[in-house]
Structure formats: structure tokens, C-alpha cells
Structure 1
Amino acid sequence: MNPLCLEHCLTETEKQHFEENGFLVVEDAIPQEMVEKLIVAVDRVGAEHLGKDELPPDASFNLLDFVGRDESFIELLDWHTTFPKVWGILGWNIKLYHSHLIVLPPLSAEERDKKRRLGWHQDSGRLNIELEGNPRPRVSLKVAYFLTDTSVPGRGNFSVLPGSQQFNQVEMPEESTADPENATPVFAKPGTAVFFDRRLWHAAGRNTSDITRKVLFYGYSYRWLQPRDNMTVEHVMERSDPIRQQILGKSTGGMGYTSPGEKDVPLRTWLQENLGSEAVAR
């Protein structure tokens, strides 16, 4: 794994911010040339998904299981500015369990003036019904890579209710088109990474601009959680190093997910060798 990871470990300030607010913003997580390469990959994969030669300007979709469809997507699995913060939050027994990319074009002229409540939700479906406790366990988080400029309002801004990961339910206003008072848009420039707890109540904002929003979402979880999509990555497994293989879901067997041995979690060995035993104490 890239030794530059050691320069971007989760700080105490970042950890406190994430625990209190449920999200963390890292600007310039990926350089502009990487952003441009990823946009080309998104446009190609999106066109294939829609059965087109090129991505139409009004294309709108949420594509699951994209990560294995371009080498540039694979590179982000253990990206040196972001992956250290993932293990800093979840620990070493982790994998990618889900990926999806969202392309959100501008609203039509007739839709722009309509007032609608945003689609506030927590991630992970029935985990929010079948897991006990209040709040329920975190279990997973996502890293969202913003490829287009959402640094000003009205561009489909990722919106959050800060601190709401601590509550199984949130109260909505009586007015059916109104959002909660503490609804907060996240202003993200191209190359920004936004980490968020799966329990955080969040939504996509309305895109009233003339720019199509393009975002990649990487979902990391504990290794024992069932994948949320098909995780079509077998074709890259053999050429991946051991840590990437762990991230992509490799295990020595069923027991290796909940009682992992050394071969199941090479990330633990790497952390111990580079950061000491305290880094893998749990």
C-alpha cells in the first residue's frame, strides 16, 4: 500500500468532528488530473449503462457496482488521502461492500420553481429496522468523491442534518414541502471527499444550475456485512495486492469474516508494522 497513507491518518480533531457531526469534508483529496480522468470514466460507463454511444446531457441515473468498470475507480479504493481516515474510523477489519455513482442533471425549467422537500434518509435499508438500539450501530460509512463543482448553492448539493446519526428518527416540519431547520448543504469543489456515517440523515439537493452533478460513492463496512450490490470485482482480484484484495472482499472462508486470521486482514499487519501495536489494539 502507498506509504503516503501514513501522512493522512485521521487526526483527533477530524475524529471528534466526525463523531459529533456524522460527516467530514476533505478538500483536494484527489488532484485535478485525476478528477478529469474519473469524469471520462463516468461518462463512458454511464453511456454504456444507458446503451448510448455518448452520455446524453440530460442523463440522470444512480448506477450501482461501478467500481470494477474502470482502473481509475479501482485506484480510489485505497487512495492515500482518504483510506487512512476510513480505517481510522472503522478499524482494520474492513472492506468495500458497496459502490454507486450518481449523475444528476439540471432540473427542467418547469421543475425549478416547484418547492419540494428533499429526500431525507439513512443508508442501508433494513439495517435501520432490524438492528436494535438508539442510536443503532454505525456498521459502515461512505466516501463521496465530488467530480463537479458543488461549491455554491443550487447544484444538487449533498445536504445533511448535522449530528442526526445519533437518532433513529428525525422530525420533519408539518409543512410537507419544508426541510428541517438545521438542513445544511455541503459545498464541495471538484476533488473534495466527503465522509459520512451511514446513519446520518442526508439527501441530494435540487439542481437548479446549468451544471450536471457527478459524484462517486464508496461504501466501506466491517467485513462480515453482506455486500449491498453485486461487487463485480473478480477480474481485478488476482492483480491486486493483498490489502486491496481484503478491501475487495477476499476471505479464507466463512470464519475469516468474523474471526479473521492474518491472511484475512493484511491491513492489520501493515498497520502494526508501520504504526505500532496500538493501531491494531482492537
Structure 2
Amino acid sequence: MLNPVVSAGAFTELDKFMFESWGYFVIPNVLSKEEVKECLQASIRLHEAAGTVGWGQVGRGYESEHALENLMDHPSVLPKIRGLLGDRFIMQSGWNTMQPARGRMGGWHQDGSSAFDFKNLGYPVPLIQLRASFLLTDQEEPGMGNMELIPGSHRSLVPLPDSIRTANSGTPISHVICASAGSVLVFHNAVWHRAYEHNWDYDRYTMHYIYSPPWVKPSDRFHNDVNFMQRTTPVRRALMGDFSRPDAPFGASYTPPPFEDN
């Protein structure tokens, strides 16, 4: 099966072509086995504390779990985000999802805001939410709680037919992402996708980081935690939206995050 696999680190012209064509790509083996273990344990603690029953997602886990915080600006992934969004963006949200053992198929959808559908902004649907999904359990074959996407659907002039969506059935052109724990899937908000079924006897965990233009409101928090902001790094504070606005509220002259190469 074809897979849009890219190398970790620097954003290349081929990466850009692949993303524009497919709407997503996969970076394999970003995390070591020990890092995966630490992040998985952190994820389990989050969901146990939240009392998750069935499928669920927990936001702001990066505030209390250092292993998850470290993923926010991971050096294997951040260059890809900068390549696609430039240097002025925020981390809109960080969601940790759990699909329970023997979990069913999710529903087909595009990411966005129910308050104002992104497709109303123009064609093609603009890149407003760029998602980096860190796989924390193996998804090396279909039926392991994988992400299923429809390649190139972020460019489609027509929506996914209701007959497919309401019946929650498959399509002849869908692609089930198969990758090991520690890999990262990066994808465009307009790509049609869903959670694939999970046929194993353990829960599946994924840590999602969503990056957006600086004028987009955060979706996992109403405000930043003061203690977290005091102890985290300057880059992470900037990604959380802590930047000065010297002219208009979202003026172009605000200082971008203090990336090492700036």
C-alpha cells in the first residue's frame, strides 16, 4: 500500500508536495520506546483521573504531564509545522484520546468549528487546524484503532456523500494509517477522516497537538495555567499564545516564537 512517509526534521519540497497532494503525511519512529512508554503511562493517568468511560478525550494534559509537554515542540515534528504554517502560529489545543478495547468505527468528519464551518471560508478549505497525532500504541495493521483518511479530500469541491456518512460505511479510496507506536501523523483539517475499529483487548491512546494561526481561539482552554506558563520554556509559552501585540490586536509585527534559528 502506498504511504506518504516523510523523514523526521527538516521540511522539504517533497514534504510540501506530498501534503498538498494527500492532505497528510506520516513521520515514523519519532519517539523512542522509552518515550512511548512514558507518554502512554501519562495518558492512562489522565484518563483515569478524568473518569473516561468508553471513547474519550482529555485536554491540557501537557500542563501536568511533562512527557506530553515535550511533544508540543518536538524537534522531529516542529519543522514540519513551521514549513506549513510559517513562524507565526499557536498551539490551539492538545487533546489526548482513548479508544477502548474492541472499540467501534468512528464517524466520517472534517475538523473545524461547529460555530462557523471552515468550508464557508472559501475553496479550497483553508488550513486552520494542522494536527500532529502522536501514536502511543501500535497501529501496525488495520483494526488497531488506526486513523482512516481519504487522500486528497481536502481539495474536493463536493462533500462526502450522506449515504457514506450516515451509514458509516467505507469508501473504495480510503486509507487506513498503519504505523508503529511513536510515529506521528500530520494532517489538514479538511481531510475527511475517522477512527478505525479497534479489535484488540487493550485501549488505544493518541496525543493530538493542533496548531493554528495566532488569531484562532484556543479550544482546550479558556486561559493558560499560570504555573505552567511560569515553568515552561519561552518557545512553549509563545506557542500557548503568550506574545506581545505592538500595534493592532493581531498585527503582523508581533514577535514570532523564539525558535533557535531565529
TM-score, reference length from structure 2:
0.87
Q: CA 1:103/1:131 → structure 2, altered by over 3 Å: closer, same or farther?
A: same
Larger-gyration structure (1/2): 1
- Name which of structure 1's ranges 62-71 and 249-258 shifts more when overlaid on structure 2: 249-258
* 1:17 equivalent in alignment to 2:18: yes
8 Å Cα contact 1:136-1:168 kept in structure 2? no
CA shift, 1:105, in A, is 1.4
TM-score (normalised: structure 1): 0.81
5+ residue gaps, structure 1, are 1-6, 273-282
Q: Deviations over 1:196-216 (max 9, x none)?
A: 011111100111222321100
Calculate the aligned-residue CA RMSD, in Å.
2.4
Aligned residue number for residue 88 of structure 1: 83
Q: Is the 8 A contact 1:251 1:257 kept in 2?
A: no
CA distance in 2, matches of 1:19, 1:168: 15
Paired position in structure 2 for 1:33: 34
The letter for the 2-side match of 1:266 is P
Instruction: Check the 8 A contact 1:148/1:215 in 2, yes or no.
Output: yes
Map of 2:197 onto structure 1: 206
Cα separation, 1, equivalents of 2:247 and 2:233? 22
Deviates more, 1:29-38 or 1:126-135: 126-135
Count of equivalent residues? 251
- Kept in 2: contact 1:68–1:232 (CA 8 A): no
Shift of 1:106: 2.0
Give the letter for the 1:29 counterpart: V
Q: CA deviation at 1:101?
A: 1.0
Cα distance in 2 between the residues matched to 1:256 and 1:150: 46
- Cα shift at 1:253: 4.1
The answer to which of 126-135 and 187-196 deviates more is: 126-135
More helix by share: 1
Name the SS of the counterpart of 1:77 in structure 2. coil
Retained in 2: the 8 A contact 1:155–1:211?
Answer: no
SS of the equivalent of 2:69 reads helix
Task: Return closer, same or farther for 1:155/1:135 CA change in 2, 3 Å cut-off.
Answer: same
Deviations 1:8-46 (A, max 9, x none): 111111111111101110001111111000111111111
Contact 2:111 2:129 in 1 (8 A): no
Q: Where do 5+ consecutive residues of structure 2 fail to align? A: 1-7
8 Å Cα contact 2:130-2:212 kept in structure 1: yes
Instruction: Give the CA deviation at 1:68.
Output: 1.3
The CA distance in 2 between the partners of 1:17 and 1:182, in whole Å, is: 17
Percent sequence identity is 23
Residue equivalent to 2:111: 123
Q: Post-superposition shift, 1:168? A: 5.8
Once the two structures are TM-superposed, the CA of residue 137 in structure 1 deviates from its matched residue by: 1.2
Give the secondary-structure state (helix, strand or coil) at the position aligned to 1:98. Answer: strand
Residues 255 and 30 of structure 1, relative CA distance in 2, 3 Å threshold: farther
Residue pairs, 1:239-258, within 5 angstroms: 239-253=231-245, 255=247, 258=250
Identify the residue that residue 5 of structure 2 maps to in structure 1. Answer: none
Distance in 2 between residues matched to 1:254 and 1:122, nearest whole Å: 35
